[in-house]
Amino acid sequence: MNLQTPRKFKMLLDQANEVAINVLRPISRKYDKAEHQYPKELDMLAALVDGMNEGGDGLNAGAAVGKRGAQDEQNKNGVNMSTALSVIEMCYGDTALLLSMPRQGLGNSAIAAVANEEQLKRFHGIWAAMAITEPDCGSDSAAIRTTAQKDGDEYILNGEKIFVTSGERADAVVVWATLDKKLGRAAIKSFVVPHGTAGMTVERLEHKLGIKASDTAAISFVNCRIPANNLLGNAEIDVAKGFAGVMETFDNTRPLVAAMAVGCAKASLERIKEIFKDDLDPDYATPYLHCSNIAAQIYRMEAEWEAARLLMLKAAWMADNRKPNSKEASISKAKAGRICNEITLKCVELAGPMGYSEVELLEKWARDSKILDIFEGTQQIQQLIIARRELGKSSSELK
C-alpha cells in the first residue's frame, strides 16, 4: 500500500477543496442557523458530482465493496479511495452540507453493497437515505423490530425508524426490517421504499446539537406495501450466513464516516495552527520537550490526526482491493470519531473566547463532530466488533 495520495485523483481533490473553501464554508453558518432549510446551492454541486461519477472515480456514496468496481490488478485505488479522499475535503468545508448532498445518501451505499445487477440499474441515480435505528434499537442493529411480511408480489412493512439522515429530502429510504423475528439477525433484510409510498409517513424532523443543515427524520411505516423486488439482494434467509449480507453495508460506510471525521478535524487543526502560528515551528525542528505547552498540544493532535487518516485510508484501500475489511473499517471509524471529538473540542479550548463564539467556526465544528463518533455504530460498538474479530468470537459469544 502506497501512503501517498494517488496522482490520478489530484484533479478531483483539487476541485473538492475549491468547493469546500469557496462554496460550502461561506454558507456554513447560514444553514447552521436555518435548521432544516434545504441548501439550494447544493443542486449545482450535485450536477457536478454526477458528471464526475459518470466519468469514473468520484465522490460516490455508493462506493463499491469488494465484488463491484474492483479490477484484477494489484494495489488498486478505486472508487472507495477517491470517495474517502473527496469526503475529507468536503467535510473540511462543512460536514452537514456534505450529508445534505443529493444522491450521496448512506442508503446509496446499502444499494451498492447488496443489490443485484437488475436493482443497481433500476435504482441508479436515486437519492437514498438509510433507516436502521428504532426507538428501542440503537447500536444493536440485530434487535430490529420493523417487520416485512410477504403478501404475493409485495412486502408489507410495519414499524418506526428514527434518526434517518436525509429522511425527508431523499427520493427513497433503504429500510432494514426482519422477515421473521424468531430467526433473529439472519432474517433481517433491506428494502427500498420510495417517498410517496402509501403507509410511509415522515413524523417529524429532529432538532440537533450539530449538523443542523442535514435533515434527520423519524419515519413510520403502517401497512406500507412495496414491490417484492425492492428487497435488496437475495430474499432467501440463510441462517448460516446470518447477518453478514446486510452488514456489508457498514464495511462500505464506516471508512467514509471516518473520512468525515478526518476532514472535520482537519478544519479545526488548520485554524488553530493559523491562530498560534507564532508559537509553532513550521519545520518541526524544535524538540518536543522544548516546545511551548500550546505547541506541544497542537503537535500531539496532529500526530493523532495523521494516525486516524492512515487507518481510514487502509480500510478504503482494502475495499478497493477485494480484501475483507470489517475489522479495519471499525478500527478506522473508532479512531477517527474519537480523535475528531478530542481535536475539535481542544481547539475550542485553546482559542478561548474566540473559539467559543460564533465569530469563528471552531464551535460549530466541535458541535458537528460529535455525531461522527455516534452514527454508523458508536465507539463502544466499534470496539466490540474489533474484539470479536481479534478473538475469533461470534456476536453470541462476545456481547
pLDDT digits (tens, 9 = 90+) for 320-363: 888 999 999 999 999 999 999 999 999 999 999 999 999 999 99
Domain's final residue, options 208, 230, 252: 230
Domain assignment present for 398? no
Handedness of CA 365, 370, 375, 381 (dihedral sign): positive
Residue 306 lies inside a defined structural domain of this protein: yes
Determine the Cα–Cα distance for residues 264 and 351; give it in Å rounded to an integer: 17
CB atoms within 10 A of CB 323: 13
Portion of the chain with pLDDT greater than 70, in percent: 92
Task: Report the mean per-residue pLDDT for the chain.
Answer: 90
For range 111-120, the mean pLDDT:
89
Neighbour tally for 380: CB within 10 Å: 10
We report the CATH number of the domain holding residue 384 as 1.20.140.10
* pLDDT at residue 56 in the model: 56
Q: What is the pLDDT of residue 232?
A: 93
Q: Is there a domain that residue 238 lies in?
A: no
> Of the candidates 326, 330, 340, which has an alpha carbon nearest to the alpha carbon of residue 381?
330
pLDDT digits (tens, 9 = 90+) for 172-199: 999 999 999 888 788 999 999 999 999 9
Residues 199 and 249 grouped into a single domain: no
Split into its structural domains, the chain has a count of 3
Please tell me whether residues 279 and 359 are part of one structural domain: yes
- Which of 230, 264, 291 terminates a domain? The answer is 230
Residue 136 within a domain: yes
Domain match, 99 and 136 both: no
**Is residue 12 domain-shared with residue 92, that is, in the same domain?**
yes
In whole angstroms, give the CA distance from residue 198 to residue 226. 9
For residue 201, give the CATH number of its domain: 2.40.110.10
pLDDT at 372 over 60: yes
**Cα–Cα distance, 268 to 369 (Å, whole number):** 10
- Alpha-carbon torsion, ordered 81, 17, 256, 197, to 10 deg: -120
Can you give the residue range of the structural domain that contains 189?
128-230
Mean pLDDT value of segment 102-122: 88
Q: What is the dihedral of CA 373, 23, 82, 243, to 10 degrees?
A: 40
How far apart are alpha carbons 301 and 67 in whole angstroms? 36
Do 274 and 385 share a domain, yes or no?
A: yes
Radius of gyration of the chain (CA): 21
Q: pLDDT at position 67, please?
A: 47
Point out the domain boundary residue: 122, 154, 188.
122
Q: What is the pLDDT of residue 243?
A: 62
CATH number at residue 24: 1.10.540.10
3-state secondary structure of 235: coil
Q: Are residues 115 and 134 in the same domain?
A: no
| Residue-level pLDDT at 171 | 97
Residue 138 has pLDDT above 90, yes or no: no
Model-level pTM?
0.93
Query: Does 381 lie in the same domain as 361?
Result: yes
Q: Which three cell numbers stand for residue 120?
A: 443497481
Same domain, 118 and 141: no
Instruction: Say if 298 falls within a structural domain.
Output: yes
111 and 173, same domain (yes or no): no
Q: Quickly list DSSP for 156-203.
A: EEEEEEEEEETTTTSSEEEEEEES-GGGGGGGEEEEEEETT-TTEEEE
Q: Are 363 and 355 in contact (CB under 8 A)?
A: yes
Q: Looking at the structure, tell me whether residues 272 and 302 fall in a common domain.
A: yes
Domain match, 344 and 369 both: yes
Q: Is residue 111 domain-resident?
A: yes
Catalytic positions, please? Answer: 376
Look at residue 237 and tell me if it is in a domain.
no
Q: What is the pLDDT of residues 257-295, one digit of tens each?
A: 999 999 999 999 999 999 999 999 999 999 989 999 999
Amino acid, single-letter form, for residue 274: E
235 assigned to some structural domain: no
Instruction: Judge if 217 and 285 occupy the same domain.
Output: no
pLDDT tens figures, 28-61: 999 999 999 999 999 988 877 776 666 555 566 5
Report whether pLDDT(142) > 80: no
